[in-house]
Each structure stands twice: as structure tokens, then as C-alpha cells.
Structure 1
Amino acid sequence: MSFQVTVQPSGRQFSCEEDETVLGAAIRAGVGLPYGCKNGACGSCKGKLVEGRVTHGAHQEKALSVAEEERGMALFCCAKPHSDLVIEAREVLGVGEFPIKKLPTRVAKIDRVADDVVVLSLQLPANERLQYKAGQYIEFLLKDGKRRSYSMANAPHLDEHLTLHIRHMYGGLFTDHVFNNMKERDILRFEGPLGTFFLREESDKPMVLLASGTGFAPIKAIIEQAIHNGSKRPMTLYWGGRRPKDLYMASLCEQWARDLPHFTYVPVVSEALPEDNWTGRTGFVHHAVIEDLPDLSGHQVYACGAPVMVDAAKRDFVGRCGLPEDEFLADAFTSEADAADAVLTTTPAF
């Protein structure tokens, strides 16, 4: 059975089958609901259920609490309809601009850039090209039906290869394979482009770019795209890691800072050891932003990395620094463990 979903305030409408999620139907229809992980962990797709009834699948409490659900909020990545729906959500323009494809790809190169990070370069078939926006991601389609998501680390115009930054999560099904068994010329399959985290090219506001760990990957693509566009918007990159070696492309960031008069790089390390001889900024990376920019009311923020960092940054930037909520653009990296920690009950929302 099919139901109609109406999005406010835009008035856009799309159909949703009773066995698919509202977000899945929106993506299929090219309607730009905001989203990130698609597995009930990050909360990016949360919106208001104005009319109708849905049932929520497994999700994390932090993504949608019982109190929020009682107030009429819904998590569209795991909400399935039982009636026609009217929902309230901020639409992201440009999401449906490029087609979502399922493609084979060949591993062209595996470069280890840190003890636990590789840059994986992928070669598409000769007659194929993946069009995407800087900041978006792809999902690898594994043989067991599972998926693994990774952001493109290169801007779309630098498309000789798709490059991904992959951190080794010990015991992780996919990353163990990447680090221990994957070889050049191996064939993989993926779907993309996905996600609503990408460069908003129409804005002229100064950009704060906030990354932790391999959250640098889509931030790198966004910076490359801004440079390619000839953008003169001020850009300040704050990249955080536990130790200096976690900032595995620091030399590239330093080169940008030397070459671009409107670009500033601020590395932040939280757990430096004596042998690191670290003399730079220390502590939580988002605290460094607050120290330097206590008033963010005129800025636009792009944040990517561990969910705890992204959540804390949004709370503090919006609550303490005056950042407009719709100018906080984020992609919280969630893992298989995050999905497994989701609430394993289904709950109706009326």
C-alpha cells in the first residue's frame, strides 16, 4: 500500500510504500530531506510529524528520545508510514541534482598514510563517471547485504580516482579486510552519491571547517571545491586528533595556509605524549573554535568526525556562540557498533 507524504513548508509531495522508510522514499523521489547515517544513530533526519502515524524501527535514544517522540518528532530514516503524512522538515536544495548509481569499481591504489589510516583510490569503469557534491559519501555493498559508508576525499573535478580515507577499526568486518587482505585491482561495488553534507556554494559567509580524525576526508573535498571555484570566503580549518600523527595530512593543510591568503589552519591535539614534542593547541578541537571565535553569528560551520564531537560542537556553537542552527552543517561518522547500539524495539508515533 502506498501513502502520500507532504513536506512543509515547501509543499513538496512524494509517495511512500508501507514497507519503506520516509527517508528512503524521499531519496528515491529526489526530495532533499537532510540525513546522515541512515541507520538511526545520528539524528540528522529528525523532523516534525504534523499529521499521520508512523512506526519507528531500531534507533538510538540520542537520535530520537521518547520525550521528543511524544512531542511529535520523528526520525525519518527509520519511520514507516501507516497513513498519509504531513511532515515538517528543512529541505536541502540540490540533493537530487545527480543520479544515485550502483557501480563496480577497481582498487587502484592503497596508500598507508598513518599506522591506522589508508587512502583508498578507486578507478571507475571507463564509460562511467560519478557526479557528486564535495562532502557527500558512497556506501560499499558487501556480500552479506551490509553496507559501509565513506566520504569522498577529493573534490568532484579531481576525478581521476575516487579517494577515501579509511581508519582501521580493529575487529571491523570491512576495515580488517582493507588493512589485511585487500589488494590492488580488487573489485568492489558501491552506491552513491549520498548525503546532504556538502559545500553550500551560494553562501558568502566565512567558513569554519571542523574535523576530527578521518572526518577530515569530506572537509578536504569541500576545501578543494572552494579553491576550484575561486572562492574568496575566509576559511579556517580546525583539525583535531589524539596525537600529532593522527593529523595524517598536516603538510597539505600547512601548504594551503601558505598559498591561500584567506585560509587558516589550526591543528589541535588532545593527548600528546612527551616524545611528540607538541607545542601547538591542546584540548578538545571545538573548544579551540570557541576560544578564537566566541561570536559565530555571521559564520557557516562544516563539522565532520566522531558523533560526540559533532554533537558537542552543535550544542556549544548554537547555544553559546550565536551560530544560526541552519548554518551548522554536519556529518557525524557512525560505525557498525553505533547501529548495533540502536534501540531494539519499534515504537509508534501518532
Structure 2
Amino acid sequence: MAYTVKLEPSGKQFEVAPGQTILDAAMHHGINLPYGCRNGACGDCKGKLVAGQVDYGQYQPTAMSEEERAQGAALFCQAQPQSDLVIEAYEIDDAKKTEVRRLPCRVHDARKLTHDIMEVRLKLPSAERLQFLAGQYIEVILKDGRRRAFSIANSPLHDDFLTLHIRYVPSGEFTEHVFTGLKPKEIWNFEGPLGNFYLRDSDRPAILVAGGTGLGPIKAMLETAFEEGLERDFHLFFGVRARRDLYLTETLDQWQAEHPNFRWTPALSDPGEEDADWSGETGYIHEVIPRYYDDLSGHEGYLAGPPPMVEAASEALQQLGLDKDRLFSDAFTYSVE
């Protein structure tokens, strides 16, 4: 049976169908709750269960601790009602809301960016365009209904193509196809745009932290900011294991040369023998940031990459004084199915 959810403090109410999560139901009723990964990994959709019972679903402990759950927290991207509910969560400003659509597209081309990252460009039907915010993602819908989420790595100001950065996952059926069997003009279906990871309207300096393909949405944000002529300062920290994992370095170097308000710092967490001549930063990216700043109280933070990196970087930024409410993140998880 369907259950009714009352949202506090707005007082809005919506119905949740059997098998539907609270977040999915809210989205289908035009209520824009915060969320990121939609698979229980990032914690962006975390809110408070004021009254009622839920099936908490599957989630990672880094997204919600047992202590938080005991205090009434729930991840709305996973939780399904088992009774009528009263929940507490804030709504995202409608001025930044985009329409979620399901569309077909064709694979236009693909190129390797590193040994395990492929850039794929998708072409929508000639009469279609996708309105999205730089930093959002889409979900590719496979033939059996399974979904794979990928951030859009290009600016919405250039929407002729949707660009995705796809990392190879060993034994991953979909990424195996992308790396070994992908053909031009192949038809994909997707749903999007999704996510609340986008650059906020602000004059605050921004600390951008990317791990691996987390560079994709960060790149889209920066591209858009430069084209719009934003003058706020941006400092990108890009963390990878070894030098061979860095990509788009020429683009980042060019932006640094052309835009006085931008600089970027790469760091290798596990450099190999081939990196013996590396003169840049080493260590995990959250360890590198304090080498450059001792007070971030007036900044904003944007984090994209694997959940452990996002969590560690979030803690590091807050220890340097960055307000938690000024931290925005997109944590990536990978499926081997």
C-alpha cells in the first residue's frame, strides 16, 4: 500500500508507492530534496525520521553511522516507508531545479584519457537538448533495467554532446563493453540530469577536490565558470595514485595560464618507480590541502571522487574552518555487475 510522508518544516505531503524510496517519490512529486549518488554511499540525502517506520535499505557505513541511525537519521535515497511518516529535511532552491528526463542518445565517439579512463561523447536526437547544471550526472539505463551513473564532464553552455569520463572496472560488464566493444552510433538510453552537485552562486573562494574521474564534474564547473566570467578564486586539488592516472593536465595548465583566479595542485598518493622524477606533491589529497591553507573559514568546498576520499577531504576542510553547510560533494561508487 502507499504511505503518506509529511515533510518538515515546509509541511508538504506526498505519497510513496510500494517499492519506492522516499527520495524517488519526492522527486516525482516535484519536491527537490538534496541527494548525490542515490545508492547509499555519499550521505547527501541524509535527513531525520521524526515519526513512523522505514526499511533503511542498503547503504555504506561511511554514509550513515549506527549512532546517527539511532538518533533518527535515514538515507532517503534508500529508505522505504513501512508506515505513514513525518520526516525533516531541507529543500533545494527551486531556482536551481532542472527537469529529469528519459532520453535516447547515440555514441558519437570515444577516446582513452588514461590507461583506465575512457571519454565517451553522446549525441542526443537533433531536436533535443538536455538542460543541466555543471556538476550533475546522468544514469545510463542498461537493457535489463540496471543503471550506471556518470557525471557530465562538459559545460551546459556547450550541450551539442554530453561528455562522460568512464573508469574501467575489472570484471565490470558495462565498462568492459565500453573499453573493448563500444561502437559509434550505438544507442544508449539515460535518465537525467540528477544530483545537487553544482556550483553555488557565491563570491567565496572555492576549494575543489577531485579524485580520479571526479575531475569530470569539477571540469564542467570550471569550464562554465570561466565562460561566464566569474571572478571568484578557484583552487583545484587533483589526487591520483600515480602520474599515469593524471589526465587533462594540458587543459588545466592552460586554464591556469589564462585565468589569474585559478590554480591547480596535483598529488600522487602511491607513486611508482616510473615517477622517480616527480617533483610535485605526494600523499593523499586530504593531507596535501593543509600544506597550502591554515584557515578556510571564508571558503566553499566542492568534492568529487571515491567515498573514502570525499569523507577524508570533507573532514580535513572542516578542521581548517570550512563551514559544513558550505561543503558540497559527489561520491562515486562502482558496480562490478
Measured against the shorter chain, the TM-score band is over 0.9
Quote the residue 1:326 is aligned against. Answer: 325
**Match for residue 155 of structure 1?**
155
Structure 1, unmatched stretches of 5+, are: 341-350
Match in the other structure for 1:171? 171
Pairwise CA distance, 1:96: 7.0
SS of residue matched to 1:50: strand
> Match of 2:312, SS?
helix
Kept in 2, the 8 Å contact 1:32–1:95? The answer is no
- What TM-score, normalized by structure 1, do the two folds share? 0.92
Q: Displacement, 1:170? A: 1.4
Q: CA RMSD in A?
A: 1.6
Judge which range, 87-96 or 303-312, deviates more: 87-96
Shift of 1:295: 1.2
Q: Report the counterpart of residue 142 of structure 1 in structure 2.
A: 142
Mean CA deviation greater in 1-10 or 152-161: 1-10
Question: Any unmatched runs of 5+ in structure 2?
Answer: none
Give 1:311 shift: 0.6
The within-5 A match list for 1:167-246 is 167-200=167-200, 202-246=201-245
Deviations 1:84-133 (A, max 9, x none): 32212232224873211111110101111211111100000011111000
Aligned partners of 2:41 and 2:307 also within 8 Å: no
Q: Is the 1:32–1:96 contact (alpha carbons within 8 Å) kept by the matching residues of 2?
A: no
Q: Secondary structure at the match of 1:30?
A: coil
Compared CA separation, residues 125 and 198, structure 1 to 2 (3 A): same
Contact 1:133 1:156 in 2 (8 A): yes
Whether the aligned pair in 2 keeps the contact of 1:30 and 1:95 (CA below 8 Å) is no
Q: Counterpart of 2:103 in structure 1: which amino acid?
A: L
What letter corresponds to residue 108 of structure 1 in structure 2?
H
Q: 1:112 to 1:138 in 2, by over 3 A?
A: same
2:258 is matched with 259
How does the TM-score come out when normalised to structure 2?
0.95
Q: Tell me the matched-pair count.
A: 336
Partner Cα distance (1:143, 1:207) in 2: 40
Q: Which amino acid aligns with 1:333?
A: F
Q: Is the Cα contact below 8 Å between 2:138 and 2:152 reproduced in 1?
A: yes
Deviates more, 1:49-58 or 1:161-170: 49-58
Amino acid at match of 2:289: V
Structure 2 match to 1:297: 297
The answer to whether residue 20 in structure 2 is matched with residue 20 in structure 1 is: yes
Aligned residue for 2:40, secondary structure, equals coil
Q: 2:35 corresponds to which residue? A: 35
Whole-angstrom distance in 2 between the partners of 1:14 and 1:205:
36
Point out the more displaced range, 270-279 or 4-13: 4-13
Secondary structure at the counterpart of residue 36 of structure 2: coil
8 Å CA contact 2:47–2:74 kept in 1: the answer is yes
CA contact (8 A) 1:3 1:83 kept: yes
How do 1:111-126 residues align onto structure 2 when only pairs under 5 Å count?
A: 111-126=111-126
Q: State the one-letter code of the partner of 1:259.
A: E
1:31–1:96 Cα contact (<8 Å) kept: no
Q: Percent identity?
A: 46
Letter in 2 for 1:239: F
Distance in 2, matches of 1:92 and 1:220, equals 23
Shift of 1:47: 1.0
Instruction: Verify the 8 A CA contact 1:135 1:151 in the aligned structure 2.
Output: yes
Change (3 A) 1:101 1:95: farther
Whole-Å separation in 2 of the counterparts to 1:324 and 1:94: 23
SS at match of 1:223: helix
**Aligned equivalents of 2:247, 2:14: Cα separation in 1:** 43
**Larger RCO: Structure 1 or Structure 2 (Cα < 8 Å, ≥ 6 residues apart)?**
1
Q: CA separation of 1:143/1:95 partners in 2, compared to 1, >3 Å: closer, same or farther?
A: farther
Tell me the amino acid that sits aligned with residue 214 of structure 1: T
How far off is 1:81 after superposition? 1.5
Do the aligned residues in 1 keep the contact of 2:32 with 2:94 (CA within 8 Å)? yes
Match of 2:98 in 1: 98
The separation in 2 between residues aligned to 1:225 and 1:88, in whole angstroms, is 33
Residues 9 and 294 of structure 1: is their aligned pair in 2 closer, same or farther, counting only changes over 3 Å? Answer: farther
